[in-house]
Amino acid sequence: MATSAPSRDIGASDAPHLTLQDSPELRRALAAVDLPVLLMTYVHLSHDEAMLDKFAPHIPPLSTGQQPTAPDDLVAELREKMRHVLTTPGAGEEAELPPALYAKIMSVGMGEPIEAEFVPLLLEQSGLGPQPDYSAKPARNKIPADFRMLIIGAGLSGMAAAIKLREAGYDYVVVDKNPEVGGTWYLARYPGAGVDTPSYFYSYSFELNREWTTYSPLGHEMQDYLVGVSHKYGIRDKIRFETKVTTLRWDDAAKLWHVTLIGKDGVEQTESFNAILTAHGPLHRWEWPKIPGLHDFKGKLMHSAAWDVDFDVTGKKVAMIGTGASGAQIGPSIAPQVDELTVYMRSRHWVLPAPLAGAVKVPEDVRWAVRHIPRFTEYMRFYVYWTASDGLWPGLVMDPEWEGNPTAISFANDMARQWAQGHLEAKLAGRPDLIEKLTPDSPVFSKRPIMDAGWFDMFMRDNVKLEDRQIERITPRGIRTADGEEQEYDVIITATGYTLKKLAGDLEIIGLNGRNLGEEWGDEDPVGYFGTMAPGFPNYFQIHGPNSGPNHGAGINLLAEAQIHYIIECLDEMVERGASAMEPLQEATDQFNEVVQAQAQRMVWAHPKAKNNFKNSKGRIVISWPFRLLDFWTRSRKPEFDHFRFTGSKDG
C-alpha cells in the first residue's frame, strides 16, 4: 500500500486557471456536475447574485431528500453563463467575496439558511478562505534557538502538525512506529478498507485533493494522498520511521521532557524535548476480542486491523465476528469470493442509505470539472461538509418533553430513525427474520452509524448467514454458540475495532511530582482540558484527547486542524511571555469538564439503551465533543490563557 514517492501532483496550490478553452470536455462537465455546486461556483466567479435569486425557489434543503427542480431553460442559462465566464478573458474574477455574499451563495446552494457565525469556519475548511498566517506574529522572532518539539505519530494529524509547526517557525522531530507515513491508512489493508467521510472533505483544508476516484476515499488512495503530502511539504527528513516511544518523563528543574525511544535497530536511547505533541490517535490500538479459546483455532485467524494481504479467502468457509464499520466494509467485499460467510453479530447498528459510499466512482466528467474549473473543488468540499456536519447536531440532543417512540430522543431523531428503518425494510424486503434481527433497539446516532455500501444487499445472498446467538468459545475447528452448537470454519475474521478509550495508549507519561497519566486515565477514564492538555503535565499536548471526537459528523481532520492551531497559539503565548512551561489549571480543567459532561448527558450517546465506545463503564462520555463542531473550532481560535499556569518566567 505504501509508496516511497508521490504518485501524482496534489493540492490547492495546483489550482486551475480561470480562463479555459471552450471544448467538448468543458461542456460535458457543465452538464454532469451537481446543480447547486455549479451555481455556487458560477456566482463566486461572476458575482451575479441575480442567479441566486432565480434558483432559490428551486433548491430544497437536503434534509427533505428532494432534488433541485429548476426549469430546463434556467439550467441551460446557468450552464451557458458559466461557459462564458470560463472561456472569456476578463469575464470572471477569482477574488475574496464579502462575508454576506458568501453566506448568501452557501444558503441558496444548500437550500437552507447558513448563519454568519459559520462563515469563517466554512471558508477555512472549504479552502475558499485564508489559512491562519503565523509568519507575522511577534513570537516568530523570539522562539529560542534550541526549542525542539517531539511529534509522536506520522498519520493524518501528526503530518498536519509537522507542516503547521514548520510554518510557525518551530523545530520538531516526528517519530512513527511504521516504515511509512499514513498511520491508520498505512495499516488498514483489509478488503474494502475506506473512509465513511466523503472524499472531497477528507483531506487537509490547506491541501485539497483533486484526484479522488471515488466519492468515499478508498484506503489506498488516502494513503497515496498522505505520502504525496509528505513529499510536497518536505517533512520526510524530519520523520524517524520504525521508531517507538516508550517513556516520557518531565524534568521540572530543566523544564524538559526526557524521552526514551527505540529505533529500528532496537537500540534504546534518551533525548530531551521542550514540548511533546502526541498524534498517534486511537485507531491503531487494536486487540483481539476476549473470547475463550480464540487462539486455539487451527484455521486462519485474522483481525481487520492486521490483515494478511497474502491470504486468499476465495472458496473458504468464513466466519466474521463484528458488525461495525470495518465489518460492514469487509463483508460485502469478500462475500462474492467465499464459499460461505457467517456474520456473528454482537450488537446491532443503524445503517444509513449512502448511495455514494464504498467504491462508487466519481464520473470522469465530474473529475474533469474538479481538476479544471476554478473554485469548483472548494464548493464541492463545502457542499459535502455541510451535508454531514452541524446540521445533524440537533438530532442528537435529547428533548426532555419527547413522548414518542422510546427508541428516539426527539422529533428530529425519530425522523432519522424512520428514514433508517425504511431503508432497512426496503433492502430486506421479504426477509422478516433479517429485519427483526437487524433492527436496533437504541436511538439512531447513539453509536456511529454504518454507511450502507452493500451491507444489507450482502445478507440477501444465498451464501451469507447472520448469526445472533452468543458465542460461548472458539474451538480448534470453529465457533461454539451458547446453546452448544458448533460450526466449523476455514477462516475466522475479527472485525472488532479498536481500544478507543485508553487515550494515553501504552506510553508511560510521568509529569509533575511523579504523576503517571496512564495510571490516572486508566483504560477508560481520560479527563483533559479541551481535549488537548492535562493539569500536571506541562508542555504536553495531545490531538484527539478526551472529549474531542467529532461524533455527529464531518471528519476528524477538521478537529485535528483546530487543535493544531490551538497548540500553536499556546506555544506562541509561552514564547511571548518568556516562559519555559505551561499547563492548564486544575480548577479550569474541572470547570471545563463540568460543562462538557453536563451537555454530554443530554446527548443521544448517554441514552440508557446506547451501547457505544464513546462512554465508559460508569456512563461518562469520554470520547465525544457534545457541542457543535463550530463551537470547538471557534474556541480553538484563541485559548483562554487565564486558565493556564506559566512557569519559568515572571508570570510563573
pLDDT value at 1 more than 50: no
Q: Does domain 138-179+241-285+500-583+624-647 have CATH number 3.50.50.60?
A: yes
Closest CA to 574 of 647, 488, 490: 647
Closest CA to 582 of 597, 567, 595: 567
Give CA angle at 647 (591, 259), nearest 5°: 95
Q: Is residue 2 very low, low, confident or very high in pLDDT (cuts 50, 70, 90)?
A: very low
* Residue-level pLDDT at 11: 45
The 3-state DSSP composition of the chain as helix, strand, coil percent (nearest 5) reads: 40, 15, 45
**87-131 pLDDT, tens per residue?**
999 888 878 899 999 999 999 999 999 999 999 999 999 999 988
Q: Is residue 82 very low, low, confident or very high in pLDDT (cuts 50, 70, 90)?
A: very high
Mean pLDDT of the region 169-194? 94
Q: Is residue 313 very low, low, confident or very high in pLDDT (cuts 50, 70, 90)?
A: very high
Question: How high is the mean pLDDT of the chain?
Answer: 93
CA terminus-to-terminus distance, the chain: 49
d(C-alpha 571, C-alpha 614), whole Å: 30
Strands 491-494 and 317-321, sheet pairing: parallel
Beta partners for residue 533, in sequence order: 529
d(C-alpha 577, C-alpha 507), whole Å: 30
* Residue-level pLDDT at 633: 97
Tell me how crowded residue 640 is: count the other CB atoms within 10 A of its CB: 11
Cβ atoms of residues 248 and 276 within 8 Å: yes
Strands 300-303 and 275-278, sheet pairing: unpaired
Q: Let me know if 192 is exposed, middle or buried by CB neighbors in 10 A (0-12, 13-18, 19+).
A: buried
Residue of 595 and 136 predicted with greater confidence: 595
d(C-alpha 198, C-alpha 358), whole Å: 10
d(C-alpha 504, C-alpha 526), whole Å: 8
Give CA angle at 158 (286, 5), nearest 5°: 95
d(C-alpha 205, C-alpha 561), whole Å: 8
Mean pLDDT of the region 397-423? 95
Q: What are the strands, taking DSSP E only, across 54-195?
A: 148-152, 171-175
Closest CA to 458 of 312, 333, 346, 323: 333
pLDDT value at 250 more than 60: yes
d(C-alpha 375, C-alpha 494), whole Å: 43
d(C-alpha 325, C-alpha 194), whole Å: 10
Work out the angle between the directed axes of helices 219-232 and 156-167 (0-180°, nearest 10). Answer: 20
* Residue-level pLDDT at 460: 97
d(C-alpha 170, C-alpha 148), whole Å: 7
DSSP for 26-49 reads: HHHHHHHS-HHHHHHHHHHHH--H
Dig out the grid coordinates for 242 from the structure.
520504525
Q: Looking at 168-276, list the stretches that DSSP marks H as alpha helix, in order from N- to C-terminal side.
A: 184-187, 219-232
Q: Which of 324-328, 498-502, 544-548, 615-619 has the lowest mean pLDDT?
A: 498-502
pLDDT value at 282 more than 70: no
**17-60 pLDDT, tens per residue?**
788 999 999 999 999 999 999 999 999 999 999 999 999 999 99
* Residue-level pLDDT at 284: 62
Name the residue ranges covered by the structural domains of the chain.
12-131+362-387, 138-179+241-285+500-583+624-647
Cβ atoms of residues 481 and 470 within 8 Å: yes
Instruction: Collect all residues with Cβ–Cβ distance below 8 Å to 124 and sequence separation of at least 6.
Output: 130, 131, 132, 205
* Residue-level pLDDT at 420: 95
**380-398 pLDDT, tens per residue?**
999 999 988 998 899 999 9
pLDDT value at 65 more than 80: no
d(C-alpha 155, C-alpha 227), whole Å: 10
d(C-alpha 343, C-alpha 317), whole Å: 11
Closest CA to 564 of 206, 271, 272: 206
Q: Cell 427542480 appears where?
A: 69
